[in-house]
Structure 1
Amino acid sequence: MILRSLSFLLILFLLLGGIYCSALPEVGRDIKAAARSGDTSAQVALARMYFEGTFGGHDPVMSARWLLAAVDQGDPDAMNILGRFYLSGVGVERDEARGLALLREAADMNQPQAQAYMAYAYGEGLGVERDSVEFLRWTRRAAENGDARSRYNLAVLYLTGSLVSQDVPAGRALLELSADQGFTEAQVALGELMIRNVDQPSDLVEACKWFAIARTKGHPRAEKRLHQIVGFMTQAEMDEAGRRANAWLQANEAGR
């Protein structure tokens, strides 16, 4: 398989952490009130707060309860997260069938992370029979809906000609999208593609930029590639690559 999922607890933290709200007491009161009134976005946000211990301690059970309230109203984001709770037994009794059913329902509603999980499930045979056609179908759907990991996975398929006809420009375009979303593996792969002179002339400055960005996240291959590439660059080129990398990092930090 192209890329295995992170551990479930890390995924759950990232999913819940993506729905950010302030931990100030008055904000917590407002969110609780909105959640009790039936606001699904508030219910998911409140689930995050209980999961992260905003109210004094990590409480996955209360987190699951508020996710269930949102699921009962048909919220696909809540289905995606609660499905993973059931798969890993976080806050609820482990129930793989229930978890997969929730993820499939969310995926059918175009929730991109759930679609990415369905691709993973069909690729690995987790709760379903391995099926390369379904793996590709769900990978495509998740990529079309903006999932960075799926865009990277689909890019690799296009670049290698696995399951699809080889299409380097399409693979490059997907890598660019995924890298700009901050997916580190895509950043390194894009840099490597840019120095290979495959479908376009090599671009050492842009490749160096992506290696430098990925290195800030501790990616070992990025560090290696960066050391290799600078030996072929002028000081002016290295300065420009550094300027571009810093601009990208600052823009993405500001956008968080």
Structure 2
Amino acid sequence: MNAPSYEAMARLRNDPGASGGDLFTAAKELRDSFVRGEHLMGLLPQDAPDVLVDGLERAGRAGIVDAWLELGKLLAYGCAPWAPYPEQDVSASVAAYQEADRAGSLAGALAWIRIAYYARSDAHEQAAARRLDDLLAAAPDDAEVLLLYGYLRHQGYGHPADPATAVPYHRAAAERGNADAAFEMSVIYGTGSGVPADQDESRRWTFRAAELGSVRAMGNLGGMFATGRGVEQNPVTALEWYAKAADAGHPRSAFTAGVMCLTGDSGLPVDEDRAATFFATAEELGVDVDDELDLMGLSR
């Protein structure tokens, strides 16, 4: 027996009169079946990823811009860590996001540039840099545009690498409330990349990034309080930050919090029930908890 979401998407796929809205709704339901792990239960046949892609493409061609955005994301990252479907295809992901860009979506424009940048795609490098130049000229105060421009200038994608030139763009994005940019500022000052190293300034930006929602900053604060790096050592506060990062989807923080509760790290009370909760979260986020514990000489 196939999942109802697959049957519904397959029927619409064979209906030439199906609307874009119906196709997009059905495609999202099929995506959610992968997220729920129904492929692991034998409820989704082998062609389910192709059916999903085809449904989103048809919805996109019918004028549903969000369908192109969804397709671009799935082709880059899959449905979930435990459901890497459809198969990753950077060029196809870029193409889907470019369809959204052509339809006037700023999110689509930024997404295809970002995917090309992270993949260091030679084929898209110059086009990505030119498109981002255009976006910056049109929206010079947009925090996401500023952040991405800082990345490209820092790493030298489509431009000569120049960390010092990147700093003002990251700072401007951070001052506009962008959590990722604030985290970049913490790294910039921590490593002295484009500016003189300044650990106090790095720490200030780490706290700011965490306040803005950066899971990486939350995890770093957990490590800082666990070790006393730049702050007074405090295992209780460390666990609080690791827990916040875990709740926000940071796998390593979830695992580390579990270990702290399992072992009673630095005088914390042993709490096997809470450890189990953290480990379950870590597993959902893709960590092989038992293998990691075994490497540490531990077990649950």
Q: What is the deviation of 1:203?
A: 2.0
Deviations 1:76-121 (A, max 9, x none): 1121122111111112222222222211221222211111111111
TM-score normalised by length of structure 1? 0.67
> Which residue of the other structure, out of 184, 187, 203, is the alignment partner of 2:271?
203
The 1:121–1:220 alpha-carbon spacing in structure 2 relative to 1, beyond 3 Å, is farther
Q: What is the deviation of 1:145?
A: 0.8
The 1:116–1:122 alpha-carbon spacing in structure 2 relative to 1, beyond 3 Å, is same
Between the aligned partners of 1:220 and 1:89, the Cα distance in structure 2 is 40
Between the aligned partners of 2:227 and 2:96, the Cα distance in structure 1 is 53
Q: What is the deviation of 1:57?
A: 8.4
Match for residue 107 of structure 2?
41
Unaligned segments of structure 1, at least 5 residues: 1-18, 231-256
1:93 has 2:145 as partner: no
Single out whichever of 74-83 and 19-28 deviates more from structure 2.
19-28
2:202 is aligned with what amino acid? F
1:126 has 2:193 as partner: yes
Between the aligned partners of 2:280 and 2:296, the Cα distance in structure 1 is 7
Higher gyration radius (CA)? 2
Q: What is the deviation of 1:27?
A: 7.3
1:22 is aligned with what amino acid? L
SS in 1 for 2:71: coil
Q: What is the deviation of 1:206?
A: 3.3
Between the aligned partners of 1:124 and 1:49, the Cα distance in structure 2 is 25
Deviations 1:206-247 (A, max 9, x none): 3245446546435797242687233xxxxxxxxxxxxxxxxx
Structure 1 segment 110-149 matched on structure 2, within 5 A: 110-149=177-216
Tell me the matched-pair count: 206
1:191 has 2:258 as partner: yes
Between the aligned partners of 2:193 and 2:122, the Cα distance in structure 1 is 32
Unaligned segments of structure 2, at least 5 residues: 1-67, 73-91
Q: Between the two proteins, what is the percent identity of the paired residues?
A: 24
SS in 1 for 2:213: coil
Match for residue 71 of structure 2?
22
Contact 2:293-2:299 at 8 Å conserved across structures: no
1:43 is aligned with what amino acid? A
Match for residue 69 of structure 1?
134
Structure 1 segment 212-231 matched on structure 2, within 5 A: 214=282, 216-217=286-287, 222-224=292-294, 228-230=298-300
Q: What is the deviation of 1:41?
A: 3.0
Contact 2:152-2:158 at 8 Å conserved across structures: yes
